[in-house]
Amino acid sequence: MTRYLSLLTALIFLCASARAADKPNVIVILADDLGYECIGANGGKSYQTPHLDRLARAGIRFEQCYAQPNCTPTRVQLMTGLSNVRNYVDFGSLEKSQTTFGHLFRAAGYATCIAGKWQLGSKDASLPRHFGFDEHCLWSLLGRGERYADPSLAVNGEFKTFPGKYGPDVCQEFVVDFIRRNRSRPFLVYYPMILTHGPYAATPHSKDYGQPGAKAKSANQQHFADMVAYMDKQFGHLTKELEALGLRDNTLILFTGDNGTGRGATSLLEDGREQDGEKGSTTRGGMHVPLIVSWPGKMKPGTVCPDLVDMTDFLPTICEAAGVAVPKTLTLDGRSFLPQVLGEPGRPRDWIYSYWVPLRASQTRHVGTRGAVEQAFDQRFKLYSTGKFFDLDADVEENTALRLADLRGDAALAARNLQAALDQFKDARPASLNPPRVPAEKRKKNR
């Protein structure tokens, strides 16, 4: 009888393991304030990113991925698959009524974890679990103390300070521990990294770490370079851990950024151009972010894709990859780019629509009648709801708007198509949501 029970137990374990193997693990990594130009594989020359460059060589690199101009709007889009016009209320918050990929994966039997930067509601320890995450290690959930040296973080509902520790290391160790404990079942890890957001402070690998001035609040180009390199090394350590656990071949990894590089950092590109950090701007430099995807054995290594990708596209992509059902009652703005990852044509976007609420007066020059900056753009042209139209090939910094009445050929066709895209969202803002909180006194000045 004992032998029979042992055999039965072994059979159940093998069946469970087989079922788990059918479902891929998913890791979504969101670097903070890391623009497209910071990655070597994208032509960046200023920073050391060998592990991400290796990921690009083994996977697929997207050339045209765009986030929102700052962090909370991007996080809301990424987690819900919806444009900000439908559910964005205020900076630093996410409506509790919203459905996230955490909900969907947990309902499908996945172990779920979030670690890093939160900034989607504060002083409520229940929020991560409410939004679908079994475990969390987060900065800015239960307090905003230090994020780097001697950090203060919320760990599974408890606010803790870690003297002598480095915040990104604490989050990384938490992620690795979660993966080790859940390696026998499918898991979703959402890893919105603390790096490389300012202040540009020394990392444990910097020569001046722990010395006076290492926590300087002002921009420090060398410290930013150190932060990018440290972020890359953390990523490399994570992939090695997956390999050691025998999980790498069954793990889909997506790496991207939440907005353009922070102000005060200037990056050199391989063609000799310099790119200033333009976070908080609706220019390409403020929204263009890296996207590298790897799923060993499922894709052709070293692929480069020119298709447009928006932050709303991540939820449908990872759900399709994992076979996680999206309720029919949940109408998404995103579309899956999994076919492109797998080497198929897919349904590439013709345009990206963005609804963004500025935080500062200097960001309000394109605010339209609905109290937000609304724009639609493709790989070359951009149209704001205010009627300002730009040819980005000729004017990437959007210094001189073109008169719509003067447009001809491709530009005229693009203007019509982009206006049609804007029109699709003219009634998308729910009446139940409060109007956007734009700096009113400055907005009048810039109208």
The rounded mean pLDDT for the chain is 92
Residue 3, domain member (yes or no): no
| In-domain check, residue 363 | yes
Boundary (domain end) residue, out of 341, 372, 396: 341
- 75 lies in a domain? yes
pLDDT band at 215 (very low <50, low <70, confident <90, very high): low
> Is residue 141, in this structure, part of any structural domain at all?
yes
**Residue 75: what pLDDT?**
98
Query: What does the pLDDT average to over 372-384?
Result: 98
> Residue 443: is its pLDDT beyond 60?
no
Contact (CB, 8 A) for 290 and 256: yes
Please give the average per-residue pLDDT across 284-308, as a whole number.
Answer: 97
Give the pair of three-digit tokens for residue 256.
Answer: 């991207």
Q: What percent of the chain stands above pLDDT 70?
A: 92
For residue 407, what are its two tokens? 């447009």
Q: Does residue 10 carry a pLDDT above 50?
A: no
Mean pLDDT within 48-61? 98
Shared domain for 267 and 325, answered yes or no, is yes
Q: Please tell me whether residues 309 and 379 are part of one structural domain.
A: no
Mean pLDDT for the stretch of residues 196-219 = 81
| Pairing mode of beta strands 135-139, 266-268 | unpaired
Please, which pLDDT band fits residue 11 given cuts at 50, 70 and 90? very low
pLDDT in tens, 218-247: 568 999 999 999 999 999 999 999 999 999
- Is the pLDDT assigned to residue 4 strictly greater than 60? no
Task: Supply φ then ψ for residue 413, to 5 degrees.
Answer: -65, -45
Residues 204 and 150 in one domain: yes
Q: What is the DSSP letter of 198?
A: S
Show the beta-strand stretches assigned E in 229-273. 251-257, 266-268
Q: Are residues 253 and 378 in the same domain?
A: no
Claim to verify: residue 328 and residue 357 sit in the same structural domain: no
Q: Is the pLDDT of residue 384 over 60?
A: yes
Q: What is the pTM of this model?
A: 0.93
Residue 446 makes CB contacts below 8 A (sequence gap 6+) with: 361, 364, 365, 367
**pLDDT-derived band at 8, boundaries 50, 70, 90:** very low
Tell me whether residue 135 is in a domain: yes
Q: Per-residue confidence at 214, pLDDT binned at 50, 70, 90?
A: low
Q: Pick the closest to residue 202 from 214, 188, 186, 213 (CA basis).
A: 214
Range 396-417 average pLDDT? 98
Least confident of 3-17, 83-97, 146-160: 3-17
Residues 222 and 259 in one domain: yes
Number of domains in the chain: 2
Tell me: do 333 and 397 sit in the same domain: no
| pLDDT value at 432 more than 50 | yes
Q: Average the pLDDT over 106-110 and give the result.
A: 98
Judgement on whether residues 122 and 270 belong to the same structural domain of the protein: yes
User: What is the model's pLDDT at position 418?
Assistant: 98
| Coil vs helix vs strand at 226 | helix
Q: Say which residues have a Cβ less than 8 Å from residue 184's Cβ, sequence separation at least 6.
A: 16, 17, 20
Are residues 263 and 375 part of one domain? no
Residue 157 has pLDDT above 70, yes or no: yes
CA distances (Å), origin 391, targets 90, 283, 381, 401: 31, 12, 5, 8
Asked if residue 418 is part of any domain, the answer here is yes
Round to whole Å and give the CA distance between 377 and 120: 27
Do 114 and 43 belong together in one domain?
yes
Asked if 58 and 156 sit in the same domain, the reply is yes
Binned at pLDDT 50, 70 and 90, residue 5 comes out as very low
Strands in 111-117's sheet, in edge-to-edge order, are 158-161, 152-155, 135-139, 111-117, 187-192, 25-31, 251-257, 288-294, 60-66, 303-310
pLDDT given for residue 213 in this prediction: 60
The sign of the torsion formed by the CA atoms of 39, 45, 49, 54 equals: positive
Query: How many other CB atoms are there within 10 angstroms of residue 109's CB atom?
Result: 12
Q: Looking at the structure, do residues 359 and 273 belong to the same domain, yes or no? A: no
Decide if 1 is inside a domain. Answer: no
Q: Which residues of 234-256 are buried (b: 16+ CB within 10 A; e: fewer)?
A: bbbebbebbeeeebbebbbbbbb
Is pLDDT above 50 for 7?
A: no
Q: How far is CA 437 from the centre of its chain?
A: 23
Query: What was the pLDDT predicted at 440?
Result: 60
Among residues 341, 373, 388, which one ends one of the domains?
341
Distance between start and end Cα atoms, the chain: 82
Q: What is the CA radius of gyration of the chain?
A: 22
Average pLDDT estimate for 383-400: 98
What percent of the chain is predicted at pLDDT more than 90? Answer: 88
pLDDT for 304 beyond 70: yes
Boundary-marking domain end, from 313, 341, 369? 341
Binned at pLDDT 50, 70 and 90, residue 143 comes out as confident
Which CATH number characterizes residue 318's domain? 3.40.720.10
Residue 5 lies in a domain: no
Range of the domain at 78: 22-341
pLDDT for residue 399 is more than 70: yes
